Amino acid sequence: MGVDATHVDLASAVVDKYDGVEDDAFQQPNPWDSHGTACAGLAVAVHDNDTGMKGVAGGCSLMAARIAESKTPGNWKTSDSWIARGIDWAWKNGADVLSNSWTTAESSAITNALERARTKGRNGCGCVVVVAAGNSDGPCGYPASLEDVLTVSASNQFDEPKTPDSRDGDTKWGSSFGPRVDVAAPGILNFTTDIMGEAGFNPAAPPAGNYNPRFKGTSSSAPIVAGAAALVLSANPDLTESEVSALIRNTADKVGGIAYDDGRNDRMGHGRINVLRAVRAAQEGRIDGEPVEEPVEEPDEEPVVEPVDEPTEEPVEGPIEIPTGRHAPVSNIDGDREREATVLLTHPSNKGEAPSELQKTRKGAEWLPSVNPPTVPDTFQAPDTSGLRNIAEASYDPPAPAGESIRVPDRRVKIDGIDGHPWRAHRW
């Protein structure tokens, strides 16, 4: 995997790099390995460069680590030791939040590394370990199945659980689910960073090719929650790992038209993440996440509530074929043996099978005849989402009235409703 540390929206955020595969600092991905770059953009793409996109926690720093390699497109290889030493490198070198958009077979080496991060990171306060649930439309994969990680499922643009039958129209995959799911976050049609140029997911010429307009799966949901955790720690750096996780769960919105039994649902966990509520609760030290009473203004007229049942346009342009959720057939039976992984990442491919070497080369991607490449504009600006109050609104819905600014102890970041992104971080 790895992250394109040269990307215009990521370069200034990168503070450290590590390759767990070769145990050195060169983690730059191959031209076809766009997954890590897409995840990084959703979490921390910068806000002050007047181009591209804005990540949830822009203004926070990025430590990029590679834990798997692919010598040819679609053929992933990893080992327990590569993954474990990537995790250990992160917490030992100052990471606050670990975002994990991958799945594998159960491994004591990996479990122990994650537990070290969760208990010893941040000088004993613990790193927040965020993990993608998976895309199998079945039980959560590993390590999302671990008890003490923050497991993230996928919701769609209608604030519903992402299933093969949900209204978004992607019928061939659904988010993994079960008792370990903590929260949900948008997992379809997420606009994010791609490897610069014509490589990566989007083969278009730059600047269009620098971005992926259709990143999907719980791989795209997890970094949104990781970004929220980074903002929470920016607002209150004294919180422990368990307090951050509890706060994020307790401030989530109970959406989706589904029943929440004792406050949670196996598909949505404790609800769809609400970043603004989480940051406010962190500022006030309210781990229970009870909403803050806001001043009541006397409106001149009754507010208008826009219906969401009948969308005015289709959420997906052009056909997208998505496979059922297959993950890496990685085994821990024979210790730390290196092994081939057909699909390691928890991001549904846009094709029914892994492309061959002829379909993708080191120069970029060649679209299969059955798949239409995404239609991408020549330039990108962040959408006008003035005053929006949560991550799902910011991803999909029309803007609401502008809000106020929230300043946090970490002087690099603030929440600013005037400039249109009240739930996102800006450089201070």
Quick one: pLDDT band at residue 199, thresholds 50, 70, 90? confident
Which is more confident, 340 or 205? 205
Nearest to 11 by CA among 58, 75, 67: 58
Q: Which two tokens stand for residue 265?
A: 């649902």
pLDDT at 222 over 50: yes
Give the C-alpha separation, 269 to 389, whole Å: 20
Position 173: which residue type?
Answer: W
The values of phi and psi at residue 100, to 5°, are -120, 100
Would residue 330 count as lying in a domain? yes
pLDDT beyond 80 at 266: yes
Q: Is residue 297 part of a domain?
A: no
pLDDT at 297 > cutoff 90: no
Domain of residue 17, CATH code: 3.40.50.200
Residue 360 lies in a domain: no
| Residue 5 included in any domain | no
Q: Which residues contact 299 (CB under 8 A, 6 or more apart)?
A: none
Judged on CB neighbours under 10 Å (0-12, 13-18, 19+), 160 is: buried
Q: For residue 108, give the nearest of 140, 139, 80 by alpha carbon.
A: 80
Instruction: Name the band, by pLDDT with cuts 50, 70 and 90, for residue 359.
Output: very low
Contact status, residue 202 vs residue 208, Cβ threshold 8 Å: yes
225 within 8 A of 139, measured Cβ to Cβ: no
Q: Is the pLDDT of residue 393 over 60?
A: no
Strands 128-132 and 97-100: parallel
* pLDDT confidence tier of residue 312, bands split at 50, 70 and 90: very low
- Pair of tokens at residue 266: 């196996």
**Do 80 and 107 contact (CB within 8 A), yes or no?**
yes
Per-residue pLDDT of 129-167, as tens digits, reads: 999 999 999 999 999 999 999 999 999 999 999 999 999
For residue 341, the SS3 value is: strand
Q: What is the pLDDT of residues 227-244, one digit of tens each?
A: 999 999 999 999 999 999
User: How many structural domains comprise the chain?
Assistant: 1
Percent of the chain beyond pLDDT 70?
67
Say if residue 346's pLDDT is above 70: no
Which residues touch 361 (CB under 8 Å, ≥6 apart)?
none
Average pLDDT over residues 297-309: 41
- Does 368 score more than 70 pLDDT? no
Q: What is the pLDDT of residues 41-87, one digit of tens each?
A: 999 999 988 889 999 999 999 999 999 988 888 788 899 999 999 99
Taking all residues of the chain, what is their mean pLDDT, rounded to a whole number? 76
Measured on CA atoms in the order 64, 68, 69, 73, is the torsion positive or negative?
A: negative
Residue 6: inside a domain? no
Evaluate whether residue 373 is within a structural domain.
Answer: no
Q: Is 366 inside a domain boundary?
A: no
pLDDT band at residue 290 using 50, 70 and 90 as cut-offs: low
89-104: average pLDDT: 96
Q: Is residue 319 in some structural domain? A: yes
Question: Which residues are within 8 A (CB) of 120 and not within 5 positions of it... i.e. 6 or more apart?
Answer: 91, 126
Domain that holds residue 171: 11-291+314-352+381-427
Q: What is the pTM of this model?
A: 0.73
Q: What is the pLDDT of residue 180?
A: 97
Q: Phi and psi dihedrals of 112, rounded to 5?
A: -65, -35
